[in-house]
Structures are given as C-alpha cells and as structure tokens.
Amino acid sequence: MTDRILVIDDDLTLLDLLKQSLEKAGYKVLTATNGIDGLQMVYKGKADLVVLDVTMPRMDGWETCNRLREISDVPIIMLTAKDKEADALKGFQCGVDDYVTKPFSFSELTARVKAVLLRTRRAPPHKQRRVYVFDQLVVDADNSQVTLRGKPVSLTPTEFQLLRTLAENAGRILSHEQLLSQVWGPEYVGETGYVKRYIWYLRQKIEDDPGDPQYILTERGFGYKLGD
C-alpha cells in the first residue's frame, strides 16, 4: 500500500514542488493550505505522515500540531524557516517527530520522510507477546500501549519507539549513538540532541519526579537505561 503524505503549507509554489518531489519518490501526496483543512483530512484518516509548515494564516503550525496530537498519533515533520534552538524545542514539545529548517533540499526531506515512516512502524519479529513490567510502568510492545498505575500514557510514535527500545534492553546502558541508530535510524547519527529531548519528554510523562527519575536512569558519560 502506498504511503499517503499530507503536506500543509500556505505557500502554493512550495506546496506544488513538494508534491512533485514526494510523488516522484513513490508517495501519494495530499495537500492543504491551512491547518483547519489539514486537521479535517487527518481526522478522516487520509494521512500516514504530515509535513507541516509553521507560518500559516488562520491557524499556525504550532496550534495545528497541538490539535493534531489531540486526535491522532500520525507522525509529523515540522517544516519552518526558523532555526533557533527554542523553536526546535517548541516543535518537539508539540509532539513532532522531526524538524527540518528552510532552506532544505528535497532529497533531504524525502530521506527524513522515509526514516520517520520506518521507525514509527518498526516491529521486530516475535513468537510471544512482549510486555515489559517495571513496577507500576507497563510497556506493551506489540500493541504499542503504555500504562502507568493502570492508566494509559499518551505517547507520540517516536516517544513510544524510544521507550520500547529501552524496555527491550532493560537494565542495559544504551549510548546516545545506539539509541539514535535503533530509534531514529542511521540518517540521524550525531544528532544527540534528539535523544536528550525525548528522554526529557518521556520523563515528564512517566516519572513522579522527572528531576529524580526512577524508571529512565542516566549513566553519565555513557547513556541511559530503563530499570536496574
């Protein structure tokens, strides 16, 4: 089945160029010129991944992203001319899975689209149900579900992939490079900031005191591990 990419951008010229580039790469491309129309298309289940611009009329990319996360866990790549660290953090806090700044090459964006789709669907073969229990935290790897004290925890696709990778290697220290390779893919080698940000986001959701974590532990100079 051909993956459907929804591009939300009010720049008609860029929208058309992105559509041509992604279609050439083999994707089915849908377009929307504002966040409201984009939300409706995602709500109707028409997208497997969203490429979202920040600066748009009626509803900007930040608000669109927040509202998308209320209705769907569809992977999101934020597309913006802003390259400040604060803007990148804001994007990740909204729940985006990747962040590409303008100017960019179409080949770069296509590679990021492929990488995000691969990691959000990655599921190793297994013979028995894989459920990992860490005190009150339960990670159901097969059903992509996480519960804390019996209540569901809402995670983005990338957050879940990171937590699942840590759970599958419980008690083992994984370096930034290992996590980047296993969760994000080889295209992200060297982007250690991704790991640090997502560890921070996970701790906000599963730790009673994110400043004194009990589940995801930091091994200074090495990396992270889940559980003892």
The residue ranges of every structural domain in the chain are 4-121, 131-226
What is the model's pLDDT at position 142? Answer: 82
> Yes or no: is domain 4-121 CATH 3.40.630.30?
no
What is the model's pLDDT at position 20? Answer: 95
What is the model's pLDDT at position 101? Answer: 83
DSSP count for the chain of H helices, then E strands: 8, 12
Largest CA distance in the chain: 53
Reported as a single tens digit per residue, the pLDDT across 77-126 is: 988 776 666 666 676 777 888 888 878 889 989 999 998 998 777 655 44
What is the model's pLDDT at position 84? Answer: 61
Residues of the chain with pLDDT under 50: 125-127
- Neighbouring residues of 76: CB distance < 8 A, sequence distance ≥ 6: 49, 50, 52, 65, 68, 94, 95, 96, 97, 98
CATH architecture type of domain 131-226: Orthogonal Bundle (1.10)
Residue 49 exposed, middle or buried by CB count within 10 Å (0-12, 13-18, 19+): buried
Distances (CA, A) of 112 to 60, 78, 108, 168, 182: 22, 11, 6, 25, 15
The structure tokens 């991704």 sit at 194
